[in-house]
Amino acid sequence: MFNRVCIIVLDSVGIGAMPDAAEYGDAGSHTLGNIYARVGELNLPHLYSLGLGNIKDARLPNVVKPLASFGRLATKTRAKDTTSGHWELAGLIMEPPFATFTSFPVKLLDEWLSLAHAAGLWKLSSDKRMVWQGTYAYDRIPAQEPITARYLANRPASGTQIIDELGEEHVKTGAPIVYTSADSVFQVAAHEDIIPIETQYKLCKIAREVLTGINLVGRVIARPFIGEPGSFTRTKNRRDYSWPPVSATILDALHASGKHTLGIGKVDDIFCNQGILFSNHTTNNTDGINATIEALKFNNEAAIIFTNLVDFDMAYGHRNDPHGYAKALEYFDTRMPEIFEALRPEDLLIITADHGCDPTTAHTDHTREYVPILAYGGKAIDLGTRSSLADVAATIYEALGHGTWAVGESFYPSL
């Protein structure tokens, strides 16, 4: 039995297309393998030493004697989004999956902006510009009727490309930019000088209330940006509004049993703080790694440390940047010795991912891939191809002395 488990999710680090990838438009995707082929090499000595390259069809250098158990996990949920991936890792398979859209129903968007107007978030100026609560002169602009609900885009798009394309029009009109992807997300991009950040958050909370039933999406995301036309940049004030887990996860069960749970990165958002006793909402890989090492060294209470490292996905996968992705992987690898040093003899370290986001594909969406699993602690064996991400949950639950979890197949006895 282990006293503590640390799970580090390398957000979007896939390791090869699943058999049904073509149904998602992802045939041939292989985040790690295609990055390695495109860049020419990946300097990951510590991850290789654990057995990353020994995983089936890894397309990476392997070692003779891996230090960790290694394998790959299939995603059982019929989706490829962050929320579903993390929930499955925690022992919850979303069925049916969240809704996805190529565009949102006009009636839904009209309801959203009408509710925002009723809440006093925006008014229509005499020149028909949407002026938002908190902006200069807002209180001096009278509301006019009838109010026309306005928005820009309403289609799948890359977040950086959509603000380059429509940011100037947004600044001129005040209309928020609404976009989605192949994943279950409703994203709102707005300039912080046009829609102040707190107003953006309120706007997204209203969208979260509207997007239910057949329109239930996994996440509503505020995507603030700043700057001038031609040089718009997104800020660190992103905020995710997830739907609470639809049934219990191991985080709920561990918390209910008196075990302390710690979420690092956007884990608190993904689970809506359900089952998370403590959280450290870091927003980039460096801070997330630092927080994880600090928790391993000094936190004597948490039985599970659950970390998401977001930069692989957010900064490089969605931006089709294999070279940046490679550097981020190599940076993580350079921090591995500090993680090893912080581990205690009774700790189990699990390194995995939630989905793929191959930066070499023609699109900028997540990709339907297997994800790697490296389990450092106990025996080092080949775990093969596992049928569900939920095997991680079942393993953790049993490893911490709580018996069998109803979803997933534990590999703890093999460790």
**Cβ atoms of 360 and 322 closer than 8 Å:** yes
How many CA atoms does the CB half-sphere of 237 hold within 13 Å? 19
Q: Label residues 166-196 b or e (16+ Cβ within 10 Å = b).
A: bbeebbebbbbbbbbbbbbbbbbbbbbebbb
Q: How far is CA 301 from CA 144, 260, 296, 304, 373, in A?
A: 56, 6, 10, 9, 25
Residues in the chain: 415
Q: Identify the helix (H) or strand (E) that includes residue 293.
A: helix 285-298
**250 is written with which tokens?**
């191991």
d(CA 36, CA 30): 10
**366 is written with which tokens?**
């997540």
Q: Which domains does the chain have, with CATH numbers?
A: 4-97+243-414 (3.40.720.10), 106-241 (3.30.70.1250)
**124 is written with which tokens?**
């229509």
The reported pLDDT for the residue numbered 183 is: 85
Which residue is associated with the tokens 């997104």?
234
d(CA 151, CA 122): 13
List the one residue out of 73, 126, 70, 141 whose CA is nearest residue 386: 73
Q: What are the backbone dihedrals phi and psi of residue 40, each rounded to the nearest 5 degrees, phi first? A: 105, -25
d(CA 307, CA 264): 5
**113 is written with which tokens?**
């902006």
**Cβ atoms of 407 and 390 closer than 8 Å:** yes
pTM of the model: 0.90
Q: How far is CA 293 from CA 289, 331, 338, in A?
A: 6, 15, 7
The reported pLDDT for the residue numbered 169 is: 93
Q: How far is CA 221 from CA 65, 115, 186, in A?
A: 43, 18, 6
- Tens digit of pLDDT at every position of the chain (415 positions): 899 999 999 999 999 999 999 999 999 999 999 999 999 999 999 999 999 999 999 999 999 999 999 999 999 999 999 999 999 999 999 999 999 999 999 999 999 999 999 999 999 888 888 999 998 767 766 665 565 668 999 999 989 999 999 999 999 999 999 999 888 999 999 999 999 999 999 999 999 999 999 999 999 999 999 999 999 999 989 988 999 999 999 999 999 999 999 999 999 999 999 999 999 999 999 999 999 999 999 999 999 999 999 999 999 999 999 999 999 999 999 999 999 999 999 999 999 999 999 999 999 999 999 999 999 999 999 999 999 999 999 999 999 999 999 999 999 999 9
d(CA 176, CA 188): 7
Q: How far is CA 155 from CA 107, 187, 343, in A?
A: 15, 10, 45
d(CA 223, CA 170): 13
